[in-house]
A and B are shown apart, each in its own frame.
Chain A
Amino acid sequence: MARLTAGIASSHVPAIGAALDLDKTDQPYWRPIFEGYEWTQRWLEEERPDVVILVYNDHASAFSLEMIPTFALGCAERFAPADEGWGARPVPVVEGHPELAWHIAQSVILDEFDITICNKMDVDHGLTVPLSLMFGQPEAWPTAVIPLAVNVVQYPPPTGNRCWNLGEAIRRAVEDFPEDLNVQIWGTGGMSHQIQGQRAGLINSEFDAAFLDRLTTDPQALRHLPHIEYVREAGSEAIEMVMWLIMRGALGAAPSELRRFYHVPASNTAVGHIVLRADS
């Protein structure tokens, strides 16, 4: 049977992708960020996940205001990097895992999560920047990826608790899949940042540190943190962190923390990263 073995969370700042694509990783501004992911790159070479369920948000790339799915699962064979207005990132096409993706879709729908099934969905920096941070610049991504796009642009986004519960349902679905697969779930976005209005540039490192702690020390309260607390304390775009709770919900009662990294800034954003071993 398939196993859900670990979770990774990371910010997905577009400027990090640009720094990689424009060969700026050795610049003093960017070097500490890429060094912060070297541990995880080595760890992933040992773990060799077969499939990553990658939770991210679309930034007005695949979805305009014409259709706004709260949860959209990518069931296609492959997903092209999106042109976000400055040309598509020069990264490999993302290979999906349609069999597992369709299995998850039908499982969670029957588990009462009315998920949207996507057979065509370009993937933007929200998905490709975490892949670049974890795998560098390979010719092809070393794992299949099932994109799970979450609406955090149009209010209201899903609640943290809803995200957590979906994570639990995804784990049940994965562990009910007959093929022997090593599956990881990644949560992306955050941490504190605000890219609009007079309050732009907000960073709240205390909030971020507490959030990272509470993923393992106080998750039951964390899942009920209301939207306004993310926004007020950590910036309007920090609402993306509800997506980390889909990952966390999939990791069981007591996952263990393997790695943590935090750095300010990347462009307007606090970079946060954590690796969690799933509770078996």
Chain B
Amino acid sequence: MPDLSAFEDVPGTTLFTAERSRVGYHLNQFCMSLMKAENRERFKADERAYLDQWPMTEAQKQAVLARDYNAAIAAGGNIYFLAKIFATDGKSFQDAAGSMTGMTPEDYAAMMVAGGRSIDGWRSKSERP
């Protein structure tokens, strides 16, 4: 078996491994359906009813409804697929990425302009409090 343990040691980071892809398949394929304008309209008209057409877990559906992208990733979502949801909402990658950090959009944008998040303290889970 390939040893992927190092991938689980990076704090605040979830890598899209085979296991997560298997668990998140229907969530991510739901996201893919939003590539079509007519599906975006149907989703926006009644999000819950649209989600109920997909064999997703309740936790996956709740993460989508709440736009909780950390929860969606924990449930097997991949950011490039989840991007179809925030594109439907008219939000940017910076809006979505910022929302996952707990920072306000203004603070997150200011951090990026100032050079981004420093790697210090973020290399390993052992460095986090």
Contact = CB atoms under 8 A, between A and B. Distances in A.
Nearest to B79: A196
Bin chain A's interface residue count: 35 or more
A200 B92 contact: no
B29 interface: yes
A221 interface: no
Contacts of B83: 59-60, 84-85
Contacts of A84: 35, 83-84, 87
Interface of A: 14-15, 29, 59-61, 64-66, 83-86, 153-156, 192, 194-205, 207, 227-228, 231-233, 236, 264-265, 267-268, 270
B68 to A, nearest CB: 12
Given A198-B11, A201-B112, A264-B116, A155 B17 contact: yes
A85 B100 contact: no
Contacts of A203: 112, 115-117
A267 B94 contact: yes
B88 A236 contact: no
Given A65-B28, A231-B13, A14 B116 contact: no
A60 B87 contact: no
B111 interface: yes
A80 to B, nearest CB: 13
Nearest to B18: A155
B39 to A, nearest CB: 10
